[in-house]
Amino acid sequence: MAPPMKWNPEKFLELLESEKFVFKVCEMLGIEKSTPYRHKAKDPDFAKKFESIMEDRKSFIRQELEERALYDGIYGWDEPVFYQGVKVATQHKFSVTMRIFLLKCWIPKKYNIDNIREEDAAKIAVKIRQHMQRLENRMPKRVVN
């Protein structure tokens, strides 16, 4: 932790703009983690700026997570395969959970469980598994020596 500094709300907000976490900024300034929150409760102007920065951060993180989840569901990723501690191959994987979620969101009449009888759900599950298998079979098998 940095040597203690006098509380400087402007400096705190300036650092918070570039740093991802409040606790990191507090460490950089040598202040207690509760200081900005106490100040936020007392100063409406500071509270407004603080919340604006945090909302921008949440929006950015939300967007990054959504993009990554979509990418993993649609395109997948390569994962190394090890044998006795040595990388012997690469296997292409997909997020099956994300694919199911996408199907339920994009085609709710067909894939939403609330609208489907149990027998139909089983048929759909089989079709999804078959489709996933076809997709995986089309992916080239990569072997690393």
| Residue 71 · residue 97 · CB < 8 Å | no
Please say which residue of 30, 50, 71 terminates a domain.
Answer: 71
Q: What is the per-residue pLDDT for 3?
A: 59
Q: Same structural domain for residues 51 and 101?
A: no
Domain end among 71, 95, 111: 71
Range(s) of the domain holding residue 99:
75-138
15 and 39 fall within a common domain? yes
Same domain, 18 and 65: yes
5 phi, psi to nearest 5 deg: -120, 160
Residue 40 within any structural domain of the chain: yes
Tally the residues of the chain. 145
For residue 117, tell me if it sits in a domain. yes
Indicate the residue among 20, 44, 71 that finishes a domain.
71
| DSSP assignment string, 43-105 | -HHHHHHHHHHHHHHHHHHHHHHHHHHHHHHHT-EEEEEEETTEEEEEEEE--HHHHHHHHHH
pLDDT of residue 67: 85
pLDDT of residue 140: 66
Cβ-contact 143, 89 below 8 angstroms = yes
Domain check: are 60 and 99 in the same one?
Answer: no
The tens place of each residue's pLDDT in the chain, 145 residues long, gives 555 668 899 999 999 998 878 999 999 999 999 999 999 999 999 999 999 999 888 888 888 888 888 888 888 889 999 999 999 999 998 888 888 888 887 787 777 766 666 677 677 778 777 877 777 777 666 655 5
What the block records as the tokens of 101 is: 């979620």
> Is 60 contained in some domain?
yes
pLDDT for residue 132: 76
Neighbouring C-beta atoms of residue 56, cutoff 10 Å: 11
pLDDT at residue 134 in the model:
77
Indicate whether this model's pTM tops 0.75: no
Taking the C-alpha atoms of residue 58 and residue 22, their distance in angstroms, rounded to an integer, is 13
pLDDT, position 145: 54
Q: How far apart are CA 42 and CA 44, in angstroms?
A: 7
Residue 117: what pLDDT? 67
62 and 84 together in one domain: no
Q: Check if the beta carbon of residue 98 is closer than 8 Å to that of residue 67.
A: no
Helix (H, G, I), strand (E, B) or coil at 142: strand
Q: How far apart are CA 15 and CA 21, in angstroms?
A: 10
